[in-house]
Amino acid sequence: MPEDFTRRKLLGAASAGILVGRAVRAATSDKPAALGGNPVRTAPFPSWPVIADNDERAWMKVLHGGKWNRLDGDCARQFEETWAARLGAKHCLATANGTSALIISLSALGVGPGDEVIVPPYTFVATVNAVLMHHAIPVFVDTDPETFQIDARKIEAAITERTRCILPVHLGGSPADMDAILEIGDKHHLPVVEDACQAHLAEWRHKKVSTLGTLGCFSFQASKNLNSGEGGALLTNDTDLYRVCQSFHNNGRGDTGSGFGYVRNGANLRITEFQAVLLTEQLKRVEEQSRRREQNAAYLTRQLAEIPGIRPARMYPGATRNAYHLYMFRYDKTQFANLRRAQFLKALEAEGIPASGGYTPLNKEPFLKNTFDSRAYRAIYPAKQLAEWFKPNQCPANDQLCEEAVWFTQTMLLGPREDMDQIAEAIRKIRQHAGMLAQS
Ligand SMILES: Cc1ncc(COP(=O)(O)O)c(C=O)c1O
């Protein structure tokens, strides 16, 4: 090492990633782990969920208190107040899960047989199932492959006189184009229900997603950034709608909350006190975890954007905060000696970097045809309408995205920055040996 390479310079170089870069270049020449070389990483990524003393103490208090149902206890109400305040919404209703938050929301808006609801094809099936549960018709609007979100530029063309609601998803925790979506909603007098099930603390122009539309829904299922195993919530600033939601999720009871007086149909979609208390305790670390994901994701994006054939999902200019429930990018095999995505994922796994190819095209899933063939749908809709549904519901950009997408889970962003270096290093290594891997 030259004499003038002082300790300070060494530290400076390390923090700027220069040394990491050199180490990385040396390692990329190793044989890929899929072909018998040493893996880039052997340590597991951070585990999930995070469990600390506060969770255990609070849980045990509910257990021994014996008030396990929200109609008896106070934990659900406390969580609702905290979550509403954190997001800047007037009302929060905690629910059994995210699916029920969506079902309740659509029910409160009166969505029903004969109606159409605009949805993205790039989402978890629950978004669409919530529409089908009301015997309404999902209308798919293609995906913007740059962002992985519903392509808001194509929504207006999908609106008909039967459209009742727009249901965008903030997929992976990255906000959908809410300026455009809200403008279309206003213009056509359509409520917007935000599926924020993956987007805890994400922001659009510094406002929390779920508070921008008429209603917003969260999931607290086990993989989510805020987690109680199962759980959900809906948020709204509309007091009348909140009351309907509250009643519907409590078997249609009136304001009294218990007893045998009913004002509408409904279901039991209540959260338990155990779920609620875990949420209140997990909430204490959600901000710090969220910041760490953002910092790691920004650092990772800078590295991955330099690798030909890797295109990290872009955020819209109005997106001021991404929850990074997923870290998503597109993989272009032509820049990797035509190494198929499945082989790329396998090679990554062998390097100690677990990744998935994400969703398949939801609009092409056979369950939709099966649902339209059901007795209920055939009773409601003319056969011609159901048969004609398939053609305009093609989403070619989404089809292609489903073949190119790669996801990392949120827990992979919770460790130190060196974890990001290893992810990038593994991808560079695979690219360098892609020809050999493609032939293996
Ligand atoms: C986008 C999206 N919508 C809805 C849901 C449904 O939430 P849950 O699994 O809590 O019912 C999920 C969760 O998996 C989701 O990711």
Cα–ligand 1 centroid distance for 232 (angstroms):
9
Pairing of strands 310-312, 326-331: antiparallel
**Atom of ligand 1 lying closest to residue 99 CA:** 11
Strands (E), 287-372: 310-312, 319-321, 326-331
Cα–ligand 1 centroid distance for 209 (angstroms):
15
Choose which residue among 95, 99, 106, 149 to substitute to test ligand 1 binding: the one with the highest number of ligand atoms within 8 A of its C-beta.
99
For ligand 1, atom 8, name the residue with the nearest CA. 98
Cα–ligand 1 centroid distance for 168 (angstroms):
13
Average pLDDT over residues 361-379: 97
Cα–ligand 1 centroid distance for 218 (angstroms):
8
Choose which residue among 100, 105, 197, 325 to substitute to test ligand 1 binding: the one with the highest number of ligand atoms within 8 A of its C-beta.
197
Confidence of residue 72 (pLDDT cuts 50, 70, 90): very high
pLDDT tens readout for residues 173-186: 999 999 999 999 99
Terminal Cα-to-Cα distance of the chain (whole angstroms):
40
Burial class (CB in 10 A: 0-12, 13-18, 19+), 2: exposed
For residues 163 and 156, what is the distance between their CA atoms, to the nearest angstrom? 11
Average pLDDT over residues 66-88: 97
Higher pLDDT, 257 or 350: 350
pLDDT tens readout for residues 109-127: 999 999 999 999 999 999 9
401: left (phi over 0), alpha (psi -120 to 50) or beta: alpha
Cα–ligand 1 centroid distance for 337 (angstroms):
36
Assess whether pLDDT exceeds 60 at residue 15.
no
Choose which residue among 102, 106, 124 to substitute to test ligand 1 binding: the one with the highest number of ligand atoms within 8 A of its C-beta.
124
Choose which residue among 198, 225, 326, 356 to substitute to test ligand 1 binding: the one with the highest number of ligand atoms within 8 A of its C-beta.
198
For residues 289 and 412, what is the distance between their CA atoms, to the nearest angstrom? 11
Cα–ligand 1 centroid distance for 31 (angstroms):
40
Cα–ligand 1 centroid distance for 171 (angstroms):
10
Looking up tokens 């220069």 gives: 18
Cα–ligand 1 centroid distance for 298 (angstroms):
25
Assess whether pLDDT exceeds 70 at residue 340.
yes
Cα–ligand 1 centroid distance for 124 (angstroms):
6
The predicted pLDDT at position 25 comes to 46
Name every residue whose Cβ is closer than 8 Å to that of residue 109 and which is 6 or more positions away in sequence. Answer: 164, 165, 191, 193, 214, 215, 241
For residues 357 and 350, what is the distance between their CA atoms, to the nearest angstrom? 16
- Give the 3-state secondary structure of residue 242: helix
Strand (E) or helix (H) holding 140: strand 137-140
pLDDT tens readout for residues 259-293: 888 999 999 999 999 999 999 999 999 999 999 99
pLDDT tens readout for residues 152-206: 999 999 999 999 999 999 999 999 999 999 999 999 999 999 999 999 999 999 9
**Cα–Cα distances in Å, from 228 out to 48, 175, 204, 275?**
11, 23, 25, 5
Confidence of residue 257 (pLDDT cuts 50, 70, 90): confident
Measured in degrees and rounded to the nearest 5, phi and psi for residue 328 equal -120, 140
The DSSP secondary-structure symbol of 360 reads -
Assess whether pLDDT exceeds 90 at residue 16.
no
**Atom of ligand 1 lying closest to residue 223 CA:** 14
The predicted pLDDT at position 258 comes to 80
Assess whether pLDDT exceeds 90 at residue 49.
yes
Confidence of residue 24 (pLDDT cuts 50, 70, 90): very low
Assess whether pLDDT exceeds 90 at residue 394.
yes
Give ligand 1 pocket residues (Cβ under 6 A): 97-99, 123-124, 126-127, 169, 195, 197-198, 219, 221, 232
**Cα–Cα distances in Å, from 424 out to 174, 267, 299, 419, 427?**
21, 48, 10, 9, 5
Pairing of strands 163-166, 116-119: parallel
